[in-house]
Chain A
Amino acid sequence: MAEQLVIPVEALDDLIGGLRDHGYRVLGPTLRDGAIVYDELSASSELPIGWTDRQDGGSYRLERRDDEARFGFAVGPHSWKRFLFPPRVRLWRARRDGDAPVVDEELRDDRPLAFIGVRACELHAIAIQDRVFLGGAYTDRDYALRREDVFLVAVNCFEPGGTCFCTSMGTGPKVESGSDLTITELFEGEHRFLVEAGTERGAELLGALAGRPGEASDVEEAERSLESAAGRMGRTMEAFDLRDLLERNLEHPRWDDVAARCLTCGNCTLVCPTCFCSAVEDETDLSGGEAERWRVWDTCFSVDYSHIHGGSIRPSGRSRYRQWMTHKLGTWHDQFGSSGCVGCGRCITWCPVGIDITEEVAAIRATDGADATVS
């Protein structure tokens, strides 16, 4: 079994085919509606070959590259959470049978999933959601079923986006662990992939591919590529002491400032690869004989999110933005033992008004201790 192999770019089809032969539903990046999204792939030709993305606060557009790179872009509006934690899932169905309702739990009806093109930051995001959904006293059964046998083909980043800051969060650009296979796209001389196995089943699949053993020059080029990527992050965030910084600045005037710009649309929570909040919806048929419960993505930016009898706990945009950011960067540590941010930059890119989490942190850090409640 091979641990490391150099394969021609065309051999990616053999990898996809191999996964499909093993029963996997293969998902990966593809072009749709002017963006690079994640969808089912049947061949490598469906990848965004020769495309890249230009990203900044509130802006995203695709551009042609001057090469035929398969993974020459950063991340788009989708994250893998839409497959592990789908936006809308039926949890169960109940029907009245005499006077006793019979409740049937819904089970996933999917082939096992294989993700191709998972970035280092996204592997960290999956690990974070694993801790949320599987690490506590209760596990999310739907997530557990979907997650159980996911095959992860990771990709080392060589083209970080304008809103990326994974180096600040310690989550990239290099894939360190957590993948079955890791691909590094190399261009010097011939266009090729250096593929490394991280698991037994990864090595097994790799062994079936035609290629040559990786040489020192391949590894050196991969390292140079990653080093270069690490130096081209569009954003930075000083992550030191973030939890305590935010805890002691809950009344900072910057929350008013950001609230004046925030539309509380919740886009950031939809595109965030770690945001996990959900609501349940109950439905019945017209006769009232059958009922269903659905789990749907929710956002802490909605007023209803914190509704209790009598009203909402967080009626203001200020408190809702503060909830999101202090949770993501601060109280997530208390709740789940790590930060909830992987520095992927999606929340910056997809914010309609370009609110930049790195800028908000910097502003609070610059005037640490300022208190809007003290005049």
Chain B
Amino acid sequence: MATATITDRPGHGPMLPAPFRVARREQDTADTWTLTLEAFDGPGPSIAPGQFMMVYAFGVGEVPISVSGPPGRPGPVVLTVRAVGAVTAAICKAEPGATLGLRGPFGNAWPVAAAGGGDVVVIAGGIGLAPLRPVVLHVLGHRDRFGSASVLYGARTPRDLLYTGLFADWRRTIDVEVTVDTAGPEWPGRVGVVTKLLPDAAFTPARTTAFVCGPEIMMRFAARALLERGVAPERILVSMERHMDCGIGLCGHCQLGPTLICRDGPVYPYSTLAPLLEVREL
């Protein structure tokens, strides 16, 4: 029988939010903002790409938000948040100087180092580009470690695209292709599903790692299209979303069959995930 021991510092348990001050707040789209948060004491946490924070708006509640800032070194926490409910709306309204509570980082990471030496394809849908931005930043920062690198990004309309101001910089060393579901005549780019961007992306399937994040059905179709191109299912990485209350594997909500997403995920190889996604309402 396990013995009860308290391993965390008293008063600093993993359920206790630490105060962070909003340093910057930028509007990305009509309903999405990117916040830069600074710790009250110390430089801030070191966060691996793909990890998430539990973000607390005072008195309103707490939600898991993927980190979209640069990975791997202590510093301010960058979060891109879409206002879809009471808590996310309250977070999006937090002006510079306001305080939010953060717990984390939690969850596993996109295996960016393991992708080194090969080609990289990033497929993002909607807000799904936010958790993938650390992957892009990692590739940009270590460009010589990778072969070809493509970002394939789909959103609802041109107005819903995130980080468009960054694309010119990204495009200096990686390929960025964008498509939207519908657009007016002023949109010079592509209209269609994100998987339509795959045939034109230059990569060698046998040495490619794909990072996919977006609505679940979009990820399923993207994974299938990648398999068709010959990318190994173990090297198609997908980030999952489920209800989370604790973020540390104790509350039970984020179960997906045999796994707990906050603990074993949110990033999974498609080879692990495919049989689970096939079962409806699992």
Contacts and interface: CB of A to CB of B under 8 A. Distances in A.
Direct contact of A and B (CB under 8 A): yes
A280 B19 CA distance: 19
B243 A305 contact: yes
A148 to B, nearest CB: 4
B242 to A, nearest CB: 6
A86 interface: no
Grouping DSSP codes into helix (H, G, I), strand (E, B) and loop, the B interface class, with mixed when no group exceeds half, is: loop
Given A127-B2, A334-B258, A137 B16 contact: no
B249 A138 contact: yes
A284 interface: yes
Interface stretch (B6-14, B113-121, B147-155, B168-176): B6-14
A308 B242 contact: yes
Contacts of A319: 280-282
| 6 smallest beta-carbon distances between A and B, as pairs | A334-B258, A319-B281, A284-B59, A277-B252, A138-B248, A147-B4
A300 B10 CA distance: 31
Contact of B279 (A126, A131, A250, A276): A250
A99 B282 contact: no
A144 B59 CA distance: 27
A313 B281 contact: yes
A278 B247 CA distance: 12
B206 interface: no
Contacts of A363: none
A291 interface: yes
Contacts of A331: 255, 257-258
Contacts of A127: 1-2
Contacts of B98: 99
21 contacts: A99-B98, A100-B19, A101-B101, A104-B11, A105-B16, A127-B1, A130-B4, A138-B249, A140-B250, A278-B250, A280-B62, A282-B59, A282-B62, A293-B62, A295-B15, A298-B252, A300-B252, A314-B281, A323-B282, A327-B255, A331-B257
Interface in B145-201: none
B243 A91 contact: no
Interface of A: 91-92, 94, 96, 99-101, 103-105, 126-127, 130-141, 143-145, 147-148, 177-178, 247, 250-251, 276-280, 282-284, 288, 291, 293, 295, 298, 300, 305-309, 313-316, 318-319, 323, 326-327, 330-331, 334-335
A130 B281 contact: no
Contacts of A307: 243
B1 to A, nearest CB: 5
Interface in B227-264: 241-243, 245-246, 248-253, 255, 257-260, 263
Interface residues of B, number: 52
A103 B16 contact: yes
B243 A177 contact: no
A46 B258 CA distance: 43
B243 A313 contact: yes
A323 B255 CA distance: 9
Question: In this complex, which of A91, A140, A178, A283 has the most chain B Cβ atoms within 10 angstroms of its Cβ?
Answer: A140
B99 interface: yes
Contact of B252 (A96, A105, A139, A276): A276
Contacts of A326: 257
B85 interface: yes
A334 B85 contact: no
Contacts of A144: 4-6
Given A103-B18, A277-B252, 8 more contacts: A103-B17, A105-B13, A278-B245, A279-B251, A288-B59, A306-B253, A308-B241, A308-B243
B43 interface: no
A26 B28 CA distance: 58
Contact of B15 (A92, A177, A316): A92
B61 interface: yes
B5 A134 contact: yes
B74 interface: no
A91 B257 CA distance: 28
A85 to B, nearest CB: 10
A99 B249 contact: no
Interface string B208-243: 000000000000000000000000000000000111
B34 to A, nearest CB: 18
Contacts of A135: 2
Given A250-B282, A279-B245, A280-B246, A139 B258 contact: no
Nearest to A277: B252
B252 A103 contact: no
A292 B99 CA distance: 16
Contacts of A99: 97-99
Contacts of B14: 138, 141
B98 to A, nearest CB: 8
A131 B2 contact: yes
A307 B85 CA distance: 12
A185 to B, nearest CB: 24
B80 to A, nearest CB: 15
A186 B147 CA distance: 76
Interface in B80-117: 84-85, 97-99, 101
Contacts of B5: 134, 139, 144, 148
Contacts of B19: 100-101, 103
A306 B242 contact: yes
B95 to A, nearest CB: 11
